[in-house]
Structure 1
Amino acid sequence: MEIRWSILVIIAGAAAVTFIPRVLPLMLLSRMALPDWIIRWLQYVPISVMAALIGQELFLEDGRWVPLTANIEWLAAVPAFAVAILTRSLLGTVITGVAAMMALRYFFPG
């Protein structure tokens, strides 16, 4: 099997592009004391990203707004959100969401 240099350079470049943005900030920020307001602000980043991803999946289809009356995914998300808020359990939330979606697809095949 022959290894082409161009493929090797592409793989090395992809590895560098993936590695550098993750490791460089970690190395730099681990040596600095961040102010409390930045730490509080950074705590909201994961939930904001997750909300953007979930909101797009629940309310858009092919880039268009989906009415809630025609959207069973939204109905499955309601009990999953309730479990997430009440228990803060990722496993419980996922199981509830999957079970709700299975039940909705069973009773309302589309």
Structure 2
Amino acid sequence: MIDRWELWLVIAGLGLGSYAMRFVFMGLVGRRPLPEWALRHLRYTAVSIFPALVAPLVVWPEATGGTLDAPRGLAALAALGIGMLTRNVFAAMAAGGGVLFVALYWF
């Protein structure tokens, strides 16, 4: 277990780091317009977060002890396919959840 003072040091460090990242955009950039290249890159930030959160849960699921299994793989493929076809995040999540529910029942 981590010592109490080390825990508070980590919490304070994470808080300062989070504040510093937000201050760069809100405090330093503020009301100045961002260049076109920065706006173009920031457009893809939200799109990249969802796969980054989901991929570890598919490849190393905690429910199976870290081994890849068929239901989660099928659900990820269904969500990817529906997402590419419809370009709708909610449809992709519903398809992936539905396939996972059915596949866990079958396997």
Q: TM-score, normalised by structure 2?
A: 0.64
- Find the aligned partners of 2:28 and 2:83 in 1 and give their Cα distance: 34
Structure index of larger Rg: 1
Following superposition, the deviation at residue 30 of structure 1 comes to 5.5
Residue equivalent to 2:94: 95
Residue equivalent to 1:49: 49
Residue equivalent to 1:8: none
The one-letter amino acid paired with 1:56 is P
Aligned length: 92
Following superposition, the deviation at residue 48 of structure 1 comes to 2.2
Residue equivalent to 2:77: 78
Deviations 1:19-77 (A, max 9, x none): x78x8645765511111111111122222222211111111134x7524xx34211111
Q: Return the structure number with greater helix share.
A: 2
The ranges of structure 1 where at least 4 consecutive aligned residues each deviate by more than 6 angstroms after the TM superposition are none
Range 39-48 or range 51-60, more displaced: 39-48
**What's the C-alpha RMSD, in Å, of the aligned pairs?**
3.1
Deviations 1:84-106 (A, max 9, x none): 11111222112211211121012
Where structure 1 has 5 or more consecutive residues not aligned to the other structure, the ranges are 1-16
Identity level (%): 24
**Higher RCO, 1 or 2 (CA under 8 Å, sep at least 6)?**
2
Task: Please state whether the residue corresponding to 2:40 is helix, strand or coil.
Answer: helix
- Find the aligned partners of 2:82 and 2:33 in 1 and give their Cα distance: 36
Where structure 2 has 5 or more consecutive residues not aligned to the other structure, the ranges are 1-14
